[in-house]
Amino acid sequence: MPSRLPFIDALKALAAQLIVLHHLAFYGPMSDHAHALAPDLISWLSQDARYAVQVFLVLGGFLAVHSLAPEGRLRTTAPLGLLWKRYCKLVGPYLVALLLALLSAAIGRMLMEHDSLPGRPSLSQVLAHVFLLQSILGHDGLSAGVWYIAIDFQLFALLLGLLWLARRAAATSAGEAAMMAAGLVATLAVASLYHFNRDAEWDSWGVYFFGSYALGVASYWATGCQPRRAAGWLLAVAAVVAVALLLDYRPRIAVALVVALALALARCSGVLERWPKSRLIGYLGRTSYSLFLVHFPVCLLVNALFSRFAQDDPWLNLAGLIVAWLASMAAAALFHRFVEAALQGSRRPHTAPTAVRESS
């Protein structure tokens, strides 16, 4: 599998844009004032566009298992080292983005009063963010979406742990290790879909999201065999998810299933490596993690400025939403070049394979 996959870049680009627009519609006074001009669109972005995070969850599982255990058996014999590399990959750019978020919030508090502004952080809150424990310890997020970084790390750790257990239990047989790994992943996925994901009390923990993540894993593993067998495995996966949705319909799980099936079809047909052939979409996919990290500080600053100088004019605030969106993409381009790419370049000899680096 090549290091760049156009279809995955396209999914990442689309999902990242929807997340930015969701946060613009959900947070800050600009969307409140502009709502009268496009009530249906802003309401949809505020409520339903958040399901785009399921794209990243499914892609995370798909890409992680491609690097860790493409044939079902964990490749590495040093899982803790790989987990540390994953943490460094995620947290390097994330800490820089947190500093930007703290600065933007401080400026925002001087320009406006709004419930979307994070409060002044405590030392324990900052340390919890550094170690990706903020939600578990009950701290408010210092920036929108930072909860996902912690969940991504938990999910990677869960998958790595299950694969390691399977390898240890079947040390002499690759086939047996692969079967055991599939069984362990499937068991936790079913537990997530039928229990943990139905209880919001678990949403600070990776097990709440593991069903979606495991759909990406299943999509990759199922499409590594003959077409007839692949179709059979995918039908079985779809049936398990369909029953879970009949018991308790959750749009987020339905979106995750659609994404997983789209990935499977794209891989089987060769579309994964060939389409779309667009430099712009490819670039937006490559910079999606940077956009995810820096858009909220940018949107917060634009909200504060327009709140101060545009006040409640709906047309000016609609223009402010567009300015914030475009400024977020410009900031992401700079952040990707001077922070994310620079940090990855400095660690390149020690990093995990490309597919894992791309799974954020």
What residues have CB less than 8 Å from 181, skipping those under 6 apart?
Answer: 69, 72, 73, 74, 162, 163, 166, 167
Provide mean pLDDT across the span 94-120. 91
Model pLDDT for residues 21-72, shown as the tens digit of each residue? 999 999 989 999 999 999 999 999 999 999 999 999 999 999 999 999 999 9
pLDDT higher than 60, residue 351: no
Predicted TM-score (pTM) of the model is: 0.93
Q: Place 113 in a pLDDT band, splitting at 50, 70 and 90.
A: confident
pLDDT higher than 50, residue 360: no
**Cα 236 from Cα 143, distance rounded (Å):** 39
Q: Where are the domains of the chain?
A: 6-357
Model pLDDT for residues 162-211, shown as the tens digit of each residue? 999 999 998 778 889 999 999 999 999 999 999 999 999 999 999 999 99
Lowest model confidence (mean pLDDT) among 17-21, 48-52, 228-232: 228-232
Model pLDDT for residues 277-330, shown as the tens digit of each residue? 999 999 999 999 999 999 999 999 999 999 888 778 999 999 999 999 999 999
Whether residue 334 contacts residue 59, with contact meaning beta carbons closer than 8 Å, is answered with no
Two tokens at 79?
């899982």
